[in-house]
């Protein structure tokens, strides 16, 4: 879709720009228009194809929007992937080297693990800083939706906060309440954190509202209890869905069987409910299951982690060396 900026008089493709002014507009019911990212600078006037005129974000929504929500940084990355999943890698221990290698290899999101791993909040904040320098997005998985867990993770300045084992709409609502500033939530007013640029902004309040837009929130659906309440869980606004296949398989009584028909049936049920509410879908799995998730149309796929990569690389080197030793012995090579 083309837009015309009257200040320049030229036509051009709509491009992703300032995160604070990014809106995802569903124009599928508007004549001759499709689902398209539209970027506005407040106070600037643009023309939409078909001479539909808007002047600011505040006027675009009521005039032409069927569904419109502010695009956080994760949603922007997904929109820019052109219906292909973006790929992420997880860090289970504090390893800046792995983070940089992952960035050089082309991973777009780094998952900082704080549910199972012993990473501290100081280390998580450092990893967020490093990832920012590489252009990767960051996701912190906290242990639970308690205020302390969510708030400390949020102050590290990640792009995404993920809460595991969500089983009730109250848990999901807690995540929103503790991660969002008023009036959306009740996040504590702390003006000197990394997330607020240490207070070095023109307006702390304005920066807080910008963060309300930019920070992505995820909850993990990974138990039978969550599956049974999936319609209630996805009804909570402002939160996307992370499907945890390993724990869900265990909860279904088929531990380790992440390609089992019962697990895949449950995944489709969750994904259908999530899509009905306009949610993005995230997961993590091993190579044998990549095809299931790509067919499903997952938006973000975590496909590697530091421990598996280290183990796999070491095993490949060990196996290759042992094969060479065996070959040399069979050939009775002497020096």
Q: What residues are labeled active site?
A: 116
The CA-to-CA distance between both ends of the chain, in Å, stands at: 71
Strands 22-26 and 67-70: antiparallel
Give me the residue label for tokens 């019962």: 262
CA distance linking residue 327 with residue 145, whole number of Å: 55
- Tell me the DSSP string of 118-156: ---HHHHHHHHHHHHHHT-EEEEEPSSS-HHHHHHHHHT
Reading the block at residue 68, the tokens are 């419109």
Q: Which two tokens stand for residue 308?
A: 């598996």
Cα–Cα distance between 219 and 221 in angstroms, integer?
7
Helix, strand, coil percentages in the chain from 3-state DSSP, rounded to 5: 45, 20, 35
Which neighbouring-strand residues pair with 138?
A: 110
Q: Give the whole-angstrom CA distance, residue 24 versus residue 128.
A: 26
* Of the candidates 214, 227, 234, 298, the residue with the CA atom closest to the CA atom of residue 269: 227
| Dihedral in degrees, nearest 10, Cα atoms 193, 138, 207, 278 | -140
Q: List Cα–Cα distances, 3 to 15, 30, 53, 123, 299, in angstroms.
A: 10, 16, 10, 44, 27
């Amino acid at each position: 879709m083309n837009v015309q900026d009257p200040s320049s008089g030229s036509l051009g493709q709509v491009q992703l720009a300032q995160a604070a002014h990014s809106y995802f507009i569903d124009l599928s019911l508007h004549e001759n228009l499709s689902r398209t990212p539209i970027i506005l600078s407040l106070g600037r006037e643009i023309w939409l194809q078909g001479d539909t005129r808007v002047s600011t974000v505040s006027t675009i929504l009521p005039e032409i929007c069927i569904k419109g929500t502010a695009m956080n940084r994760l949603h922007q990355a997904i929109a820019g992937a052109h219906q292909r999943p973006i790929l992420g890698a997880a860090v289970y221990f504090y390893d800046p080297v792995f983070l940089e290698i992952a960035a050089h290899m082309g991973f777009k999101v780094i998952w900082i693990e704080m549910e199972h791993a012993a990473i501290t909040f100081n280390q998580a904040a450092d990893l967020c800083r490093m990832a920012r320098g590489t252009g990767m997005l960051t996701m912190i998985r906290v242990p639970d939706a308690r205020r302390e867990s969510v708030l400390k993770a949020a102050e590290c300045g990640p792009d995404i906060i993920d809460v595991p084992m969500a089983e009730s709409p109250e848990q999901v609502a807690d995540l929103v309440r503790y991660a969002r500033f008023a009036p959306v939530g009740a996040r504590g007013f702390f003006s000197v954190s990394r997330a607020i640029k240490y207070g070095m902004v023109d307006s702390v309040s304005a920066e807080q509202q910008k963060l309300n837009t930019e920070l992505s929130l995820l909850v993990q659906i990974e138990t039978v209890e969550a599956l049974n309440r999936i319609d209630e869980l996805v009804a909570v606004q402002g939160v996307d869905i992370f499907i945890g296949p390993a724990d869900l398989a265990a909860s279904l009584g088929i531990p380790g069987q992440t390609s089992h028909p019962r697990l895949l049936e449950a995944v489709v049920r969750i994904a259908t409910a999530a899509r009905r509410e306009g949610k993005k879908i995230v997961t993590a799995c091993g190579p044998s299951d990549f095809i299931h998730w790509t067919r499903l149309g997952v938006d973000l796929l975590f496909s590697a982690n530091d421990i598996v990569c280290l183990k796999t690389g070491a095993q490949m080197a060990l196996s290759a060396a042992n094969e060479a030793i065996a070959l040399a012995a069979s050939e009775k090579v002497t020096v």
